[in-house]
Amino acid sequence: MARKGAKVAMGARNTEELASAVAEIKSTGGRTAALPLDLRIPENPAKLVQFAADQFGAIDIVVSNAGATKRGEFEELTEEDWNDGFALKFFGSVRLARAAWPHLKKSGGSLIFISGVGGRTPGRHFAIGGSVNAALLSLTKALADAGIRDGIQVNAINPGTIRTSRFETRLAAFAAERNLNVSEAEREYVKESNIARIGEPSDIAALVAFIAGPQGRLLQGALIDMDAGATKTI
């Protein structure tokens, strides 16, 4: 988005990753500002929206990409695990959307939720994530309907397996279990998962830019799977 000329305000818990993202944007001449915070804390989403407005004025695009949830067998997942998953990714997104709505209504802007294919194709080790993502997809449809009235574009992206630090950790464990090097493990992972390839964060970023740009203006309430073929349902 910064390379396309957008002024980017960001918030995240991980200060190191936040600083790295700021440095990357500034290295290309982009304008950015960052606020370290935890979106699980109820008042923080509104703080982030106000921070963005104070830094750059009008808010045209909001992307909610908050957090991952704990994996595990159902009987091993605690009340705290469930509460944490919904507090960050779902309620963090609800509060961010609520705080940003007046700004987006004024600008005729775009709200994009980053959900996940687990919301459509849940598995036994992804009970929390699948439930949170399904709720987020339902929220997308509800807000897209409200957005028609208020002139706000609302859509969601369902990423599949993306090369994040979390995936790299999972891949290392996958490699160790099978006594493979990382390259071999990735090929085997792709084969066992029956997907075309591992996605890159830049793939998701490109779709965000498309949705929020003039070419994506007809998208409203779209739930877009970007998963290299992981979702086998219609």
pLDDT digits (tens, 9 = 90+) for 6-43: 999 999 999 999 999 999 999 989 999 999 999 999 99
Q: Does pLDDT of 68 surpass 90? A: no
Our measurement of the distance from residue 177's CA atom to the centroid of its chain's CA atoms, rounded to an integer in Å, reads 29
CA dist 219 to 107, 151, 154, 227, 232, Å?
17, 12, 8, 19, 22
Q: How far apart (Å, rounded) are the C-alpha atoms in residues 141 and 12?
A: 26
Instruction: Give the rounded percent of residues in the chain with a pLDDT score beyond 90.
Output: 92
- In DSSP terms, 8 is beta-bridged to 32
CATH superfamily of 40-162+199-234: NAD(P)-binding Rossmann-like Domain (3.40.50.720)
Q: How far apart (Å, rounded) are the C-alpha atoms in residues 16 and 24?
A: 12
Query: Letter for the amino acid at 219?
Result: L
Given this model, what pLDDT does residue 82 score? 97
Nearest by Cα to 123 from 161, 157, 163 = 161
Question: Which two tokens mark 226?
Answer: 């970007």
Question: Which two tokens mark 146?
Answer: 């409200």
Average pLDDT, the chain: 96
Q: How far apart (Å, rounded) are the C-alpha atoms in residues 60 and 170?
A: 35
Give the count of beta carbons closer than 10 Å to the beta carbon of residue 140.
25
CB 105 within 8 A of CB 152: yes
CB 175 within 8 A of CB 75: no
pLDDT digits (tens, 9 = 90+) for 6-15: 999 999 999 9
Q: How far apart (Å, rounded) are the C-alpha atoms in residues 76 and 221?
A: 35
Q: How far apart (Å, rounded) are the C-alpha atoms in residues 65 and 190?
A: 24
pLDDT digits (tens, 9 = 90+) for 156-194: 999 999 999 889 999 999 999 999 999 999 999 999 999
* Domain boundaries defined on the chain: 1-36, 40-162+199-234, 163-197
